Structure 1
């Protein structure tokens, strides 16, 4: 189904929904709904613009909405008709959360269902969407016309899967902060991530040296008291530590600093944590708006062989600085998911048993075709952020070497969200793709 175009803020939007198979290997089986929004600049809606698919970060993040989209969108609309696809399970694409997943009845059925929500399924959804949009605009004979893809973070992972599974659908690929390890185990990913996160902690406390005392005082208060956030959820020390998940974003240092400076107020029994502080923490640590991020965060690295087995939780033992009961200074964790979060976060508690089954699964299909990537003929350019907290630089450059023709741009000017903050990131990638740089 396609809606009539509607306008706002200089944009023309058309909404599309189509049914896609839950399991693309069984197209005759159950289906789910895929939603995408096609966006053009006002005045150019009748122009013969090529399509650009935005693959957002995640997993489990819906596509950006045009009113809140980052700097990249306005730049992209100068040259493209942009497609914002809600990846399966997010936004308006048959959402997957504690309420909707309850229909499956038990953990085994839920885990089996969620096994179809990784990059391989997202790419096959995108292929059906590409043909649908081409046929609508150009007719059946042009349904196989390729499109360009811009992949941010996990979206870049999906783009590498796209190059592996369906390169014929791609005209060019642009990646920002999202070249994954092609062969590494989740243990390798998190071992590197913990080291980078420690470095980010050092940068944070160097910028705001007074915040070490505040963070330690908050942790001590949480250890000694049963503190409840406005939602009613208990805030533990280890959950407070997960506030570092946004350290890799351009403005995250400042946001945490300004939250911490208002952490304490004086109540009838002495110092208490303020509601303003607790509400701000809740907004970061709760997975109510993105449960798939927690459930699928380790499975996105799984490819046959051994299970992930709660890799981040196990590897953390190698980095005692992150221990919540240490006598040393508190350190914030980063992009890691732990099994205890499925006990403490009400949005995740109903998914706990399914998450454990996914962590134990060992028969995940491959996400990348190394031979196909080595023979790649699709133009690929990628921004590799030198100090990226979320995606390891060395892993990214190994992948860049493994993909024929991939041209990396290595920069320390931008954080992980550079393409959202500065339109110049996309400008440069497009110029690289055109051979101008």
Structure 2
């Protein structure tokens, strides 16, 4: 356990050994890391703890040197626990390097979903505070995990706060992505309404990529379909502006004609490369898998129902959103060694359930959830249907925030705390 101070906060690092498979506590072990943060002027007080469950999957917890609005607000009355979910950050990592040493990486990664994360959190809670329950704040996939927490171990929770993260409890990944494509088409319409001149510019970039072998600074090729994935930026508070300011510096005069600039290519690379979070790609569809059905590359299959995203079609170019495709495992060097693993997970059918509908219907933990009206990543109607199935869950539909609202505005956490007090 290590403690250090900076910027008015006190951080204490914790590492636990936990079972890879919680049904086999005597089997293989992995490490799980968490950072506890408290305001320096409140260090000596007996404060309740709040567990932050990060979005993702496959994203490490926020680092407190770049704290979001929620953390600054929560530090006024809580000790924050920032959990690096298994496989991420300082927890035993799962990536192309470490997974190469496993005889069956796909089987290994079946233990990296919300159910295992919740079991890790319970061991961490008991390590830090014994039998006392704590509050959980789940953002996006962290909200999915919070519903799993309420299903598996509600006794560990004093209250549950969810932001942009009420999943379908019974729907298949096909239902998720079919709704997601519709929302992404709407987001494209809003983007090009704000920046109408970007329509021709995006088409020009796509045409250039189709005709030239363009390499990003890392040496990776930038294809048209990879360029389309920049639409993932539409879902955040900076929303359309970040892509607009990237596109405006796209072209420079090259020796043989127009060329894509290094600042543009570097900015694109920062968005499209999944090297910092490979599990996001590998586990993105398995987080929805349950009930004996394979995901079978759902986003890729469902895309065929939406010709708007066909870059070679007759219509204007559309950017895609939060979808993972099998071709990414051919084009992104961080994912290439994981292609067979991703394929095996896409075919898998023996997924255990993630939610206990009976237990959720009888829930006694106070729960409040921010549902964002124009959330591009989590469907509003699916979220509200889920809210109706959880006893005592109070949804708040916000028309003023996007998917990362809790990170952008402390009023989001303020409201959820008030709703559960």
**TM-score, with normalisation over the residues of structure 2?**
0.99
Give 1:398's match in structure 2, choosing from 358, 368, 385.
385
Other structure's SS at 1:133 match: helix
Give 2:401's match in structure 1, choosing from 397, 411, 414.
414
Q: 2:162 & 2:340 partners in 1: Cα distance?
A: 34
After the TM superposition, which residues 57-136 of structure 1 pair with which residues of structure 2 at under 5 Å, given as runs? Answer: 57-105=55-103, 109-134=104-129
Other structure's SS at 1:428 match: helix
Unpaired runs of 5+ residues, structure 1, are 135-142
**What is residue 138 of structure 2 aligned with on the other side?**
151
**What is residue 138 of structure 1 aligned with on the other side?**
none
Cα deviation, 1:319-353, whole Å, max 9, x if unaligned, reads: 00001211321100000000000000000000000
Q: 1:324 & 1:90 partners in 2: Cα distance?
A: 34
After the TM superposition, which residues 312-331 of structure 1 pair with which residues of structure 2 at under 5 Å, given as runs? Answer: 312-331=299-318
**What is residue 252 of structure 1 aligned with on the other side?**
239
After the TM superposition, which residues 182-261 of structure 1 pair with which residues of structure 2 at under 5 Å, given as runs? Answer: 182-261=169-248
Q: 2:206 & 2:238 partners in 1: Cα distance?
A: 23
Q: 2:252 & 2:239 partners in 1: Cα distance?
A: 23
Unpaired runs of 5+ residues, structure 2, are none
Give 2:375's match in structure 1, choosing from 365, 388, 413.
388
Per-residue deviation at 1:45?
A: 1.1
**What is residue 336 of structure 2 aligned with on the other side?**
349
Other structure's SS at 2:38 match: strand
After the TM superposition, which residues 364-375 of structure 1 pair with which residues of structure 2 at under 5 Å, given as runs? Answer: 364-375=351-362
Q: Check if 1:431 corresponds to 2:418.
A: yes
**What is residue 350 of structure 2 aligned with on the other side?**
363
Q: 2:322 & 2:258 partners in 1: Cα distance?
A: 31
Give 2:255's match in structure 1, choosing from 268, 278, 283.
268
Q: 2:10 & 2:373 partners in 1: Cα distance?
A: 36
Q: Check if 1:162 corresponds to 2:149.
A: yes
Other structure's SS at 1:99 match: helix
**TM-score, with normalisation over the residues of structure 1?**
0.96
Give 1:36's match in structure 2, choosing from 34, 37, 44.
34
Q: 2:169 & 2:89 partners in 1: Cα distance?
A: 28
Q: 1:49 & 1:111 partners in 2: Cα distance?
A: 41
Q: 1:423 & 1:181 partners in 2: Cα distance?
A: 27
Per-residue deviation at 1:304?
A: 2.5
8 Å contact from structure 2 (residues 233, 242) kept in 1? no
Other structure's SS at 2:180 match: helix
Per-residue deviation at 1:43?
A: 1.6
Q: 2:88 & 2:18 partners in 1: Cα distance?
A: 14
**What is residue 321 of structure 2 aligned with on the other side?**
334
Per-residue deviation at 1:74?
A: 1.0
Q: 1:267 & 1:227 partners in 2: Cα distance?
A: 13
Other structure's SS at 1:104 match: coil
**What is residue 20 of structure 1 aligned with on the other side?**
18
Q: 1:46 & 1:34 partners in 2: Cα distance?
A: 26
Other structure's SS at 2:25 match: coil
Q: Check if 1:296 corresponds to 2:283.
A: yes
Give 1:379's match in structure 2, choosing from 366, 371, 375.
366
> Aligned pair count?
421
Other structure's SS at 2:12 match: strand
Other structure's SS at 1:271 match: strand
Cα deviation, 1:2-55, whole Å, max 9, x if unaligned, reads: 22x211001011000010000000010010000000000012111110010000
Cα deviation, 1:330-382, whole Å, max 9, x if unaligned, reads: 10000000000000000000000010000000010000000000000000000
